[in-house]
Amino acid sequence: MNRRGERASRLASCFRAGPLPPGEGGRSPGEGLAKRPHSALRATFSRREKVLAYAFPLILMLLLALPALAQDPRTIVEESQKRSNSTSQRYEGTLRVVDAKSKVSEKRWQFDRIGSHGDSKSVLRFLAPAEVKGVALLVINHPDRSSDQWMWTPAIARERRIALQDRSTRFFGTDFSFEDLEERDTDQFDFKLLGDQTIDGAVCWKIESQPKKTKISQYTHSYVWIRKDNYVVAQIENYKKTVLVRKAKYTDIQRVQNLWTAQTIEMTDVSRDSRTILKIEKLQYNLPMRDEDFTLQAIQR
Amino acid sequence: MSLLLALMLLSQNYTQRGFVESRLTLYPEAAVNDSAHAVGEMQVHYEGFYKPRFDFQIAVALDLRTDTHRQTERDLRFDWKDRERQRPLLSLRRLSTQYHHRGFTLETGKQAIRWGRTDIVNPTDRFAPRDFLTVVDNEFLGIDAVRGTYERGSNTIDAVWSPRLTPSRIPLNTQRWFVAPAGVPAITIQRDMPEGSQSGVRWSHVGPVEFAAAYYSGFSHVPSYERIPGKFAVREFYPEQRMAGGDVAVPLRWLSIKAEAGYFTSPDSRFDEHLLYVVQLERQSGEWFFVGGYGGQKVTARGTQSANFDPERGLTRTILARAGYTIGPTRSIAFETAIRDNGDGVWAKTEYSQAFGQHWRLTTGLSLIQGKPSDFLGQYRRNSHGLIAVKYSF
């Protein structure tokens, strides 16, 4: 038996030596250990096995307590982010913008991201329609404040900073605002669990998120639905006071490189009665990317 | 060679874009030196980018143009220098190689270089000559240059050296945007083109407040004029120019303030030493965007030149505003105006634009120009016009 096999066997035997549920003829480890003399204990278990014997009930208790901990809304949101965590991401997005009169326009962009939640950088570059090909948006997310955003327009060879007060503006005729393109770091929001609700047949936690005072946002609060089965965000409703401004629906959830990801996002601008359907294609995670490709100079290349 | 080119074009590392545009400009009034009421133009613009390695790129941009009014040459010759008065039929707008390593980027060849932060008047934008054949509807020209940019954190140093001046293309003297006084016969213009190089450096910082400082040494890309003694002629020259300036952008709670200023000096005594500045406010709200500001100048030492053609200085002592509204995903409307603070000149423009499908766009516009003949804007009072443009982008 190799070293690893030996260790696994020890662990397995240790677990087997662990508690059986009361009423099934088992006795608690404490009970058994208390009845044995100390020297006998030393003789029976090695030091590692002793540690494991004591740690096991603690681990079990923690595992049993997890669902209870998950009821904390911040923990749920953090777990959701943790499960979608990757060092980088790339996809091509096709956007269908359908206005109130059912007029449809299509756009296409490539999205690259490097870094993890709240501390990432992303570049979004339009591939179509032809007249906006090359237009790029650089978003630098910060864990402690609102993101920095710059837009590069090749036709006039100028970059322009998107000021904070302009972030509620629609992004290039889509129903996403500039703010919707930045990541939401959990530390910048307060959360409240409002209960369970079913979205498209999946049971979800409904959580209210409210930006902290340090976070400048067009939205006074949002409702976020997170699926209980895979911790994927199913829906977000963004409000200004009591008025629903934008609603994002996440569907077509698939597992890509072990990460559950919504392949379709439908953003509705409620006041305009307009919606944008973003279809995610060619999605890849954890690609090798360079930090130097996420700078103001880089988006001009 | 052609096989190599074909392979490059078919490569996944090659991207391209461009457009074909047809424009019709209608002038209700005849000008003193131009009786035409309609000008038709056609432009094919092509850009290609070949990226054989992640850190290296070759970029090319070509323009093929023609028009009904001889603003464009009729001879098919390839124009690299962009120094002729007429637009070339076939011109190279960009041909450059770009290499980058970490924060350093080196671009060599013909390229567009833009400095400054404001939108309407850019005193520090010294490497950006323009095509002013239609003064109020101009476009940028590329220049031959070596440009090194080093970006580290929130600071960027940009150094540019250009072996020769690419002048702005100014209105042709047989056409309406060249304003000739009534009854004065045509005079001979002797053109002196400088042959020296130009260079500049700019340091910019991004942060909660963005700012930059820039220095330029070279030539004015717009011409000045002086009388030639004893002849019925004027000399057109491009005076040496030094510019020290900077720009700043301050985002506030409700709007952003941007300002840019440049102080211009010259060893050439014919040149006016002056300060050019602009302050503008900017805001986007819902479907609206708004930019409004004031451009000013202060002449500190008057030169001996008789006249000059400088639209940037011409747009000073002026309240400038631009607003736009996005009607829907395919439609937008824009307004632009410049009003002299003494009321001597007004230019107002409105433009409606609509996209059809993925490739087509129709733009219609109306430009109204009023004012006194002595004013930079007012001198074009006969050039109010309407515009229809159809563009196919690919």
- B311-369, pLDDT tens digit by residue? 999 888 999 999 999 887 789 999 999 999 999 999 999 999 999 988 999 999 999 99
A chain contacts of residue B252, beta-carbon cutoff 8 Å = 165
- B12-49, pLDDT tens digit by residue? 789 999 999 999 999 999 988 888 999 999 999 999 99
pLDDT at B386: 98
Q: Which string of DSSP letters, residue by residue, matches B116-160?
A: -S-SS--TT-TT--EE-SSTTS-EE--EEEEEEEEEETTEEEEEE
The neighbour count for residue B314, using CB atoms within 10 Å, is 23
- A195-208, pLDDT tens digit by residue? 999 999 999 999 99
State whether residue B173 sits within 8 Å of chain A by CB: no
The neighbour count for residue A236, using CB atoms within 10 Å, is 22
pLDDT at B329: 76
A297 and B98: CB-CB below 8 Å? no
* pLDDT of A69 higher than 60: no
Rounded to whole angstroms, the Cα distance separating B295 from B280 reads 8
- Give the closest-approach CA distance of B127 to chain A in angstroms: 12
The neighbour count for residue B68, using CB atoms within 10 Å, is 13
Rounded to whole angstroms, the Cα distance separating A274 from B328 reads 9
Classify A28 in phi/psi space as left (phi over 0), alpha (psi -120 to 50) or beta. Answer: beta
A chain contacts of residue B12, beta-carbon cutoff 8 Å = none
Q: Using pLDDT thresholds of 50, 70 and 90, give the confidence band for residue A30.
A: very low
Q: Using pLDDT thresholds of 50, 70 and 90, give the confidence band for residue A45.
A: low
Torsion of Cα atoms, A277 then A283 then A287 then A291, to 10° = -10
Torsion of Cα atoms, A286 then B154 then B275 then B82, to 10° = -30
**Cβ within 8 Å of residue B119, ≥6 positions away:** B258, B280, B282, B291, B322
Radius of gyration of chain A (CA): 25
Q: Per-residue pLDDT averaged across A77-84, rounded?
A: 91
pLDDT at A56: 62
- Give the tokens for residue B323: 């607003």
Rounded to whole angstroms, the Cα distance separating A293 from B22 reads 37
* First CA to last CA distance, chain B: 26
- Give the closest-approach CA distance of A238 to chain B in angstroms: 16
* pLDDT above 70 as % of chain A: 77
- Give the tokens for residue A253: 């959830």
Give the residue carrying structure tokens 């991401």.
A89
The dihedral built from the CA positions of residue A107, A112, A115 and A121, taken in this order, carries a sign that is negative
Domains of chain B by start residue, with CATH? 14-393 (2.40.160.100)
Q: Using pLDDT thresholds of 50, 70 and 90, give the confidence band for residue A28.
A: very low
Burial pattern B319-342, b for ≥16 Cβ within 10 A else e, equals ebbbbbebebbbbbebebbbbbee
Shortest CB distance from B206 goes to which of A106, A174, A296?
A: A296
State whether residue A295 sits within 8 Å of chain B by CB: yes
A positions 220-279 inside 8 Å of B (CB): 274
Rounded to whole angstroms, the Cα distance separating A159 from A153 reads 6
Rounded to whole angstroms, the Cα distance separating B76 from B89 reads 6
Answer with the residue of higher pLDDT: A29 or B351: B351
User: What average pLDDT is seen over chain B?
Assistant: 92
State whether residue A131 sits within 8 Å of chain B by CB: yes
- Give the closest-approach CA distance of A298 to chain B in angstroms: 9
pLDDT at B188: 84
Q: Where are the domains of chain A?
A: 3-68, 79-299
Q: Are B153 and B245 in contact (CB under 8 A)?
A: no
Cis before A129? omega within 30: yes
- A169-188, pLDDT tens digit by residue? 888 889 999 999 988 788 88
The dihedral built from the CA positions of residue A292, A297, A300 and A301, taken in this order, carries a sign that is negative
DSSP assignment letter at B112: -
DSSP assignment letter at B302: -
pLDDT at B319: 95
- B297-326, pLDDT tens digit by residue? 999 999 998 888 999 998 889 999 999 998
pLDDT at A5: 40
- B192-243, pLDDT tens digit by residue? 999 999 999 999 999 889 999 999 999 999 999 998 888 888 899 999 999 9
Amino acid type, A237: E
B140 and A292: CB-CB below 8 Å? no
What are the beta bridge partners of residue B385? B367
Of all residues in chain A, the one with the smallest CA distance to B251 is A163
* pLDDT of A59 higher than 50: yes
* pLDDT of A58 higher than 80: no
pLDDT at A47: 65
Rounded to whole angstroms, the Cα distance separating A215 from A256 reads 32
Radius of gyration of chain B (CA): 22
- B148-158, pLDDT tens digit by residue? 999 998 999 99
- Give the closest-approach CA distance of B44 to chain A in angstroms: 14
Burial pattern B264-301, b for ≥16 Cβ within 10 A else e, equals bbbebebbbbbbbbbbbbbbbeebebbbbbbbebeeee
- Give the closest-approach CA distance of B371 to chain A in angstroms: 30
Amino acid type, B253: R
pLDDT at A66: 54
- B74-100, pLDDT tens digit by residue? 988 877 888 899 999 999 999 999 999
What are the beta bridge partners of residue B94? B61
- Give the tokens for residue A85: 């965590």
Q: Give the residue from A301, A265, A299 showing the smallest Cα distance to A281.
A: A265
- Residue B372 sits at the vertex; the CA angle it makes with B367 and B376, to the nearest 5 degrees, is 65
State whether residue B206 sits within 8 Å of chain A by CB: yes
- Residue B99 sits at the vertex; the CA angle it makes with B93 and B105, to the nearest 5 degrees, is 90
Q: What pTM was computed for the model?
A: 0.83
pLDDT at A55: 64
Answer with the residue of higher pLDDT: B185 or B327: B327
Q: Per-residue pLDDT averaged across A222-233, rounded?
A: 95
* pLDDT of A71 higher than 50: yes
**Cβ within 8 Å of residue A4, ≥6 positions away:** none
DSSP-derived 3-state class of residue A19: coil
A chain contacts of residue B206, beta-carbon cutoff 8 Å = 148, 161, 296
* First CA to last CA distance, chain A: 57
Rounded to whole angstroms, the Cα distance separating A282 from A280 reads 7
Q: Give the residue from A256, A252, A266, A204 showing the smallest Cα distance to A230.
A: A204
Report which secondary-structure segment, H or E, holds B314.
Answer: helix B311-314
* pLDDT of A8 higher than 50: no
Shortest CB distance from A164 goes to which of B18, B251, B355?
A: B251
Q: Using pLDDT thresholds of 50, 70 and 90, give the confidence band for residue A19.
A: very low
Rounded to whole angstroms, the Cα distance separating B85 from B309 reads 14
**Cβ within 8 Å of residue B272, ≥6 positions away:** B264, B299, B301, B302, B303, B305, B308
pLDDT at A36: 43
Q: Using pLDDT thresholds of 50, 70 and 90, give the confidence band for residue A156.
A: confident
**Cβ within 8 Å of residue B180, ≥6 positions away:** B32, B33, B173, B186
Distance of CA B369 to the CA centre of its chain: 20
DSSP assignment letter at A182: S
Q: Per-residue pLDDT averaged across B122-136, rounded?
A: 95
Phi, psi angles (nearest 5°) of residue A33: -70, -35
Rounded to whole angstroms, the Cα distance separating A261 from A251 reads 9
Distance of CA A126 to the CA centre of its chain: 24
Which ranges of chain A does DSSP label H, i.e. alpha helix?
Answer: 3-16, 29-35, 38-44, 47-70, 73-83, 296-299
B282 and A163: CB-CB below 8 Å? yes
DSSP assignment letter at A230: T
For domain A79-299, give the fold.
Answer: outer membrane lipoprotein receptor (LolB), chain A (2.50.20)
Q: Using pLDDT thresholds of 50, 70 and 90, give the confidence band for residue A52.
A: low
- If 0-12 CB within 10 Å is exposed, 13-18 middle and 19+ buried, where does residue B48 land? middle
- Give the tokens for residue A189: 């929001």
* pLDDT above 90 as % of chain A: 54
